[in-house]
Amino acid sequence: MGERGNRREMQGVVVSDKMDKTVTVRVERVVQDSAFQKYMKRHVKYKAHDEKDECAVGDKVLIVESRPLSKEKRWRVRTILEKAK
């Protein structure tokens, strides 16, 4: 059985793990300014579901889009790519 629909995936760094089964993930991207053609970093913070509470601050994680789990949670942690040092 295949995956339902196209689910977006993003890589980011955990910036908060204070909530129960929830982590805040900061995702950075590089965009080009339309007027000055200069590249700039932009970031967004997403709340992601961490079922086993494995993530810690500083971990690099892969998050995947999912159905709404709460008022602000629409992402799940798929894997931990790199543990914090």
Distance CA 14, CA 59 (A): 5
Whether the per-residue pLDDT at 1 is higher than 90: the answer is no
Whether residue 4 is contained in a domain is answered as no
CATH number at residue 36: 2.40.50.140
Whether residue 56 is contained in a domain is answered as yes
Number of domains observed in the structure of the chain: 1
Whether residue 24 is contained in a domain is answered as yes
Whether residue 1 is contained in a domain is answered as no
Whether residue 3 is contained in a domain is answered as no
What's the whole-model pTM score?
0.88
Whether residue 34 is contained in a domain is answered as yes
Q: What is the pLDDT of residues 3-31, one digit of tens each?
A: 677 899 999 999 999 999 999 999 999 99
Q: What contacts 55, CB < 8 A, 6 or more positions away? A: 14, 17, 23, 61, 77, 80
- Write out the residue range of the structural domain in which residue 56 sits: 9-82
Nearest to 75 by CA among 50, 49, 57: 49
Q: What is the pLDDT of residue 3?
A: 63
Q: What is the pLDDT of residues 46-56, one digit of tens each?
A: 999 999 999 99
Q: What is the pLDDT of residue 2?
A: 61
